């Protein structure tokens, strides 16, 4: 069940450099919702996600994400906003020169964790959540694509985020592996987190229905749980 609004945009205009990508964007996403962000390549899906994690500046309109006002958030507060967001990319973005445990320690230390026992405990918790606890000491290149994505999802959970933003998380995976990743993301959503997933894989949306937001012709169209 969705709860109170955790993400809200009102008449927002989204720019990449000086190019208008999306205009008059109205979004209202509740806590605990599973939302698909769909649209063709270049339609503005990634730009919309970048606004949400404050990688792009909101130049027009209003926006709130996890209690932060996107219009007034200071640069030094952006790391605190991002700790409330878990971000999952299509190409995993794991550090290739260190094993899974060291990848996770790097993130936790960079975000202010200091207690060694708490760090070790949290790493085991997120690996258990994604059923990858046996991969603790494994180097990323020894993992399959699906395993790397599970590790990337576990990494996104480290700081107890309220929202998971997943940008084409199944884009490089075969259908069976994609199904496993989808079931994992839905399980995370059922635990109370909001999940927003950008995808152009309509087979997944038919198989695992959710709320749909579509980027098309410079606009964002909110749909019910169906494809138009």
3-class state of residue 20 by DSSP: strand
**60-65 and 219-223 strand pairing:** unpaired
Q: Mutual orientation of helices 145-157 and 116-129 as an angle, nearest 10°?
A: 130
Q: What pLDDT shows up at residue 118?
A: 97
CB 130 within 8 A of CB 150: yes
3-class state of residue 24 by DSSP: strand
pTM: 0.90
pLDDT digits (tens, 9 = 90+) for 49-99: 999 999 999 999 999 999 999 999 999 999 999 999 999 988 778 999 999
Chain mean pLDDT for the chain: 91
**Distance (Å, whole) CA 199 – CA 167:** 7
Q: What pLDDT shows up at residue 90?
A: 80
Residue found under tokens 């959503």: 189
pLDDT digits (tens, 9 = 90+) for 171-205: 888 999 999 999 999 999 999 999 999 998 888 99
Q: Which two tokens stand for residue 83?
A: 């700790």
Alpha-carbon distances, residue 4 vs 47, 62, 82 (angstroms): 24, 18, 19
Secondary-structure breakdown of the chain: helix, strand, coil percentages, each rounded to the nearest 5: 35, 25, 35
């Amino acid at each position: 069940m969705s709860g109170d609004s955790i993400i809200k945009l009102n008449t927002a205009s989204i720019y990449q450099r000086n190019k208008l990508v999306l205009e008059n964007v109205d979004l209202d996403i509740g806590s605990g919702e599973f939302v698909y962000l769909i649209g063709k390549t270049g339609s503005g899906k990634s730009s919309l996600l970048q606004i949400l994690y404050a990688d792009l500046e909101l130049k027009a309109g209003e926006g709130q994400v996890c209690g932060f006002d996107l219009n007034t958030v200071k640069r030094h507060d952006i790391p605190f906003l991002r700790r409330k967001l878990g971000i999952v990319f299509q190409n995993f973005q794991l550090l290739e020169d260190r094993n899974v445990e060291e990848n996770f320690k790097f993130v936790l230390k960079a975000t202010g964790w200091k207690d060694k026992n708490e760090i070790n405990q949290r790493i085991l918790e997120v690996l258990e959540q994604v059923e990858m606890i046996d991969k603790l000491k494994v180097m990323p290149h020894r993992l399959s694509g699906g395993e790397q994505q599970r590790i990337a999802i576990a990494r996104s959970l480290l700081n107890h985020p309220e929202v998971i933003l997943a940008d084409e998380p199944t884009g490089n995976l075969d259908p069976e592996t994609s199904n496993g990743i989808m079931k994992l993301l839905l399980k995370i959503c059922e635990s109370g987190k909001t999940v927003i997933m950008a995808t152009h894989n309509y087979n997944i949306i038919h198989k695992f229905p959710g709320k749909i937001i579509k980027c098309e012709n410079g606009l964002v169209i909110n749909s019910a749980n169906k494809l138009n």
